[in-house]
Structure 1
Amino acid sequence: MLQITDIKRENVVVTVASGKLNQHDLEKIHPLIHSILEKGLKIRWYLEMNDFQGWHIEGLWKDFSKDVGHEKEYEKIALVGEKKWRKWAAQFMKPFCNAEIKYFDPDEKQEAKIWIESE
């Protein structure tokens, strides 16, 4: 499940992933992404992984590929989670290679939130 927990500033989306992600989870974030883009802003995404178990690959990449065309519109991505998910996260975030991506351990949530909002 992908839960949208907050929207900081006009362009920072804060999410928490738990369990397995699926197509429905990404559909929840699309309207936020497009709203930010319509304002002419770059997207900053804070993704926290709690009790995360991966994703249901079928459908997820199909839906996710819709946003690959916006790879230049992502400015920063903060990934918070256990080290075992860093390899997955690196692969998942590959389409956003233009964004500055930083990894944070679970006990560094506050630092991650400060970084995602900083200039």
Structure 2
Amino acid sequence: MFELDNPKGGNFVILRVDGRVQGEDYDRVIPRLKRYFGEHGQLNMLVVVESTEGLDASNVWEELGLSQRELASVMRFGVVGDAREDAWIGQMSAPLMHTEVRYFDVGEEESAERWVRAGRAAASPGAQA
């Protein structure tokens, strides 16, 4: 199951991963995630891994339909999960290696959220540098 949350609005999202993903999970999450990318241009993302049973991390981004451009627009990427899931976490974060990536153990969700939220503010999609 995937759950997507955008607490307090803005360019910060939390993706919760809990085991087997169903078609309706994608139908519910993908349009919202793409809308956040469209609204903010860049995102700070926290992934909270509760269970990976029945999930193939090597193609989770592809299954979510995220383009390389969208993945490159992730400024900070935090992952909360069991340290024994290192291989899974590494697979999931590999496409994001150009960005700041940090891993947190189970129980450190608050610290992870603070770190991810502290990423630089995203410019609006039409802003000039």
TM-score range, shorter chain: 0.7 to 0.9
> What's 2:95 paired with?
95
Q: Partners of 1:87 and 1:110 in 2: how far apart?
A: 23
> What's 1:75 paired with?
75
**Bigger Cα Rg:** 2
Tell me, which stretches of 5 or more residues in structure 2 are unaligned? Answer: 120-129
Counterpart residue identity of residue 41, structure 2: L
Contact in 2 for aligned 1:6/1:14 (Cα 8 Å): yes
> What's 1:49 paired with?
49
Contact in 2 for aligned 1:4/1:16 (Cα 8 Å): yes
The size of the alignment, in residue pairs, is 118
Q: 1:16 to 1:97 in 2, by over 3 A?
A: same
> What's 1:112 paired with?
112
Identity of aligned residues (%): 18
**Local SS of the residue matching 2:10:** coil
- CA RMSD in angstroms comes to 2.6
Q: 1:26 to 1:76 in 2, by over 3 A?
A: farther
> What's 2:86 paired with?
86
TM-score (norm 2): 0.73
Q: Partners of 2:50 and 2:30 in 1: how far apart?
A: 21
Q: Partners of 2:115 and 2:92 in 1: how far apart?
A: 20
TM-score (norm 1): 0.78
Q: Partners of 2:40 and 2:113 in 1: how far apart?
A: 22
Higher strand share: 1
State which drifts further: 26-35 or 90-99: 26-35
Higher helix share: 1
Q: Partners of 2:74 and 2:61 in 1: how far apart?
A: 18
Q: Partners of 1:60 and 1:118 in 2: how far apart?
A: 25
